[in-house]
C-alpha cells in the first residue's frame, strides 16, 4: 500500500504536475518530492528542480521555507493554508499561472533537442507529448514499468 504522507519515490512516482491543490498546478508533486527527500526516498527525482523553481518564483516562497514546513509533518491542507499565508497571489493569477505551467515546454533549441531525445527513447511513435507535464507523465509511467 502506498503511504502518500511519506511517499517512497523509489517505488512509485510523485503525483502528476497536473494535479491541483488550491488551484496550484505542480504543488502536490512538489510536496511529494519534498516529503520523499526528507526520508531519503526521493529516488531519481529532484527537489527544487527547474519546474519546482517556477512555483517558488511565482509564490515568492523559498524552497528552504517550504521544506521546513513539510518537515513539521503538515498535511496537504495544512501546507495549502501555509502557502496561502505566505503569498499574496490572487485566485485569477494562480489559475493563469497554473494554465501556463501545464502547457510550458522547452525554450531554446537545446531544450527542444533534449525533449526530443527523451521522447525518442521512451515513445518514438507518440506525437502528443508537447509540454513538460506530458513528458513527466510519460517518464513516470515508463520508469515504473508502463509501456508507452
* Span 100-111, average pLDDT: 88
In tens, the pLDDT along 114-145 reads: 889 989 988 999 999 989 999 999 999 998 98
What is the number of structural domains in the chain?
2
The pLDDT of residue 59 is above 90: yes
How confident is residue 111, by pLDDT bands cut at 50, 70 and 90?
confident
Same domain, 112 and 85: no
Same domain, 12 and 65: yes
Same domain, 119 and 144: yes
In tens, the pLDDT along 7-52 reads: 999 999 999 999 999 999 999 999 999 999 999 999 999 999 999 9
Helical pair 76-86 and 27-38, crossing angle rounded to 10 deg: 110
Same domain, 81 and 9: yes
Same domain, 127 and 72: no
Range of the domain at 23: 1-89
Q: What cell numbers appear for 6 in the block?
A: 511519506
Contact 47, 33 (CB under 8 A): yes
- The verdict on residue 100 lying in a domain is no
Q: Please report, for residues 49, 84, 127, 139, the alpha-carbon distance to residue 21 in angstroms, rounded to integers and kept in the order given.
A: 19, 11, 29, 22
Amino acid at each position: 500500500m502506498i503511504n502518500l504522507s511519506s511517499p517512497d519515490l523509489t517505488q512509485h512516482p510523485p503525483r502528476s504536475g497536473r494535479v491541483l491543490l488550491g488551484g496550484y498546478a505542480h504543488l502536490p508533486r512538489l510536496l511529494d518530492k519534498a516529503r520523499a527527500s526528507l526520508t531519503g526516498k526521493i529516488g531519481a527525482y529532484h527537489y527544487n528542480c527547474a519546474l519546482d523553481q517556477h512555483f517558488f518564483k511565482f509564490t515568492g516562497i523559498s524552497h528552504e521555507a517550504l521544506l521546513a514546513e513539510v518537515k513539521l509533518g503538515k498535511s496537504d491542507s495544512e501546507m495549502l493554508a501555509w502557502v496561502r499565508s505566505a503569498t499574496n497571489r490572487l485566485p485569477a493569477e494562480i489559475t493563469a499561472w497554473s494554465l501556463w505551467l501545464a502547457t510550458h515546454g522547452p525554450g531554446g533549441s537545446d531544450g527542444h533537442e533534449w525533449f526530443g531525445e527523451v521522447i525518442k527513447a521512451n515513445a518514438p511513435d507518440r506525437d502528443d507529448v508537447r509540454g513538460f507535464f506530458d513528458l513527466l507523465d510519460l517518464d513516470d509511467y515508463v520508469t515504473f514499468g508502463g509501456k508507452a
